[in-house]
Amino acid sequence: MIKPLSKAILIGILGALIGGSVIYVAMAKYMNKGQELMDASAITSTIETLKTLRGGDTKHGYDLLETHLDQSIIMFSLPPQTKEGLTAIEAAKSYRQQYPFKESDTNVDNAINEVLSR
């Protein structure tokens, strides 16, 4: 027979486990939606760029790719947490040194320079 105190502790532990599971599932769905929105945006942007390049407007195509790169760089406003993130930022730094690009918005340029200057 389970003592009343042990039963209360057991119920508390089960409640915490169930509550934690519910929170985990909700967070996983939320994060998946965020990833899905980013992937949808990447698909749309890639299609627009490909159509532009296939249509012969290479200058505009390059500008779209440069802007997409800038958007990806800005996502690293917090320092990278993985080796892959660090490698990507180093590659972006090297690329931007070789091929400077200015956005029409100086705030965007400042944010990119801040990320790349670390």
Between CA 31 and CA 58 the distance in angstroms is 35
How far CA 60 is from CA of 25, 54, 99, 101, 117, in Å, comes to 42, 11, 16, 13, 27
Within 8 A by CB and 6+ apart from 114, the residues are: 77
Whether the model pTM is above 0.75: no
pLDDT at 39: 82
- Residue 54: its H or E element: helix 4-54
Q: Is 77 helix (H, G, I), strand (E, B) or coil?
A: coil
pLDDT at 111: 93
Helix residue ranges per DSSP H, 55-103: 58-74, 83-98
Q: What is the pLDDT along the chain (118 residues), one digit of tens a residue?
A: 556 656 666 666 766 667 666 676 666 676 677 778 888 888 898 899 999 999 999 999 999 999 999 989 998 888 889 999 999 999 999 999 999 999 888 999 999 999 999 8
pLDDT at 5: 58
pLDDT at 77: 87
